[in-house]
Amino acid sequence: MQISREQMLRAYRQMVTIREFEERIHVDIQRGGIAGFTHLYAGQEAVAVGVCEHLTDTDTIISTHRGHGHCIAKGCDVIGMMKEIYGRQDGLCKGKGGSMHIADLDRGMLGANGIVGGGPPIAVGAAISAKVLKTGGVAVSFSGDGASNQGTVFEAMNMAVVLKVPKIFVFENNGYSEHTGFSYAVGSKDIVRRTEGFGMPVFKADGYDFFSVYEAMRQATELSRQGGGPCAIYAECTRFFGHFEGDPQLYRAKDEVARLRAENDSLKIFRQRVTEANLLPGGDLDQVEGEVRDLIDRAVREAVAAPAPTAADVLTDVYISY
Ligand SMILES: Cc1ncc(C[n+]2csc(CCOP(=O)(O)OP(=O)(O)O)c2C)c(N)n1
Ligand SMILES: [Mg+2]
C-alpha cells in the first residue's frame, strides 16, 4: 500500500479530531446549550477518514443523521461546525442547520441528512453531474445498516448501475438501526451480496482499521474514476455512544461498549500498527492529540461566545432564486 508519512499523520489527525469533537459534545450537551437531536459518530472514525482521504474538493459526499465524522473527514471547518451545532449566526450553515444538517458545498460536502436513506439518490444526482460535466469527480454516499434496507437506496443503486456513473456507496454496519439489531432488520443478513445483486462490485473493509478502509477505497476510486461505474464499500464498525444523545441503550449488553472501546478502538489500532512497524513515532501521535485537544477547546470557547441568529435571520436563505 502506498501511503506517505504525511498522509498517515493527516489521517490520524482527522480521526483524533472526530473522536475529540464527539467526546466533547457528549459531555457539553449536558449543560443544555445545544438544541435538537445529536447522533455521535465516535467509534466509526476509520471509515469516514479511510474513505475521505482519497477525495478532493471536486468529489462530493452526502452523509446521514450521524454526520459530524463525515464532515470533518471531508475537510469542513471544525470551528464552523461547532458553531453550527450551537446554532450560532456564523456557524457553517448560519446556525440554521444544526447537527443533522451541516453542509459545505465548497468542500464537496453536500449535507448531512435526517432522512434515513435520503443520501444515496442525491449522490447519484451528483455522480450524473460529474459524469456529464466530465469533472473527474466521484460522488460518495454514506449509509448505515438500517438505511441499507430503504427503497430509496435500492433505486439509487439500480440507477447508478444503469447510468454507469462514478458513484461509491459506503455502507457502515454499526450493528444497529436506532435500537433494532442488524440481524433482525436486514432480511438477508448480507448487505454485500444484496448490493452485488444490483450489479456492482463491493470492496469489503475492516471498519476498525483505517488502512483496510483506505485500501478498499483506493480500489473503489480507481474503478469509478476510470469510468467503471458505481461500486460499494462495506465496513462493520461500532458506535461508542447511544443512537442519539440521551439514549439509555437498554438494548446493549452492559459491558458491550467497554469491551469495544478496549478491543475495537480504531485510534488505538492505528497507533499500534504504525508504531510497531516503525512507520511513525508515538511522540508524533501524542503531539497531534495535544494540538487537536487545543483546537476543540478553542472551537467550544468560540461557539459558546458567538452571537445567536436574530429574528430577521429567519427570513433569509429560505428560497434560492436561480
Ligand atoms: C425515512 C426515515 N425513517 C425513519 C427515521 C428514524 N430514524 C432515524 S435514524 C434511524 C436508524 C438508522 O440506522 P442506520 O442506517 O443503521 O444508521 P445509524 O443510526 O446506525 O448510524 C431511524 C430509523 C428517519 N429519520 N427517516
Ligand atoms: Mg446502524
For range 90-111, the mean pLDDT: 96
Q: Is 175 near ligand 1, meaning CB less than 6 Å away?
A: no
Domains in the chain (CATH in brackets) are: 5-315 (3.40.50.970)
320, pLDDT greater than 80: no
88, pLDDT greater than 90: yes
What one-letter code names the amino acid at 234? Y
Instruction: Please check whether residue 182 is in contact with residue 176, taking contact to mean a CB–CB distance below 8 angstroms.
Output: yes
Return the ligand 1 atom nearest residue 173 CA.
16
Each as own residue / partner, the long-range contacts of residues 284-289 (CB below 8 Å, 24 or more positions apart, any chain) are 284/9, 285/12, 288/9, 288/12, 288/13, 288/16, 289/16
For range 13-32, the mean pLDDT: 96
Instruction: Please check whether residue 202 is in contact with residue 140, taking contact to mean a CB–CB distance below 8 angstroms.
Output: no
Q: Is 243 near ligand 1, meaning CB less than 6 Å away?
A: yes
Q: Is 174 near ligand 1, meaning CB less than 6 Å away?
A: yes
Return the ligand 1 atom nearest residue 182 CA.
16
Tell me the pLDDT tens digit for each residue of 230-262. 999 999 999 999 999 999 999 999 999 999 999
Q: Is 176 near ligand 1, meaning CB less than 6 Å away?
A: yes
Q: Is 114 near ligand 1, meaning CB less than 6 Å away?
A: yes
Return the C-alpha cell found at 96: 440554521
Q: Is 146 near ligand 1, meaning CB less than 6 Å away?
A: yes
Q: What is the 66 CA–ligand 2 centroid distance (Å)?
A: 10
Tell me the pLDDT tens digit for each residue of 170-181. 999 999 999 999
Q: What is the 58 CA–ligand 2 centroid distance (Å)?
A: 28
322, pLDDT greater than 80: no
What contacts 2, CB < 8 A, 6 or more positions away?
none
Tell me the pLDDT tens digit for each residue of 257-307. 999 999 999 999 999 999 999 999 999 999 999 999 999 999 999 999 999
Instruction: Please check whether residue 179 is in contact with residue 251, taking contact to mean a CB–CB distance below 8 angstroms.
Output: yes
pLDDT band at 317 (very low <50, low <70, confident <90, very high): confident
Task: Point out the ligand nearest to the CA of residue 143.
Answer: 1
The percentage of residues in the chain with a pLDDT greater than 70, rounded to a whole number, is: 100
1, pLDDT greater than 80: no
228 CB-contact burial (10 Å; exposed 0-12 / middle 13-18 / buried 19+)? middle
Q: What is the 289 CA–ligand 1 centroid distance (Å)?
A: 32
61, pLDDT greater than 90: yes
Tell me the pLDDT tens digit for each residue of 188-204. 999 999 999 999 999 99
Largest CA distance in the chain: 57
161 secondary structure, DSSP code: H
Q: Is 178 near ligand 1, meaning CB less than 6 Å away?
A: yes
Instruction: Please check whether residue 230 is in contact with residue 224, taking contact to mean a CB–CB distance below 8 angstroms.
Output: yes
As a 3-state breakdown, the chain gives helix, strand, coil percent values, each rounded to 5, of 50, 10, 40
Q: What is the 287 CA–ligand 1 centroid distance (Å)?
A: 37
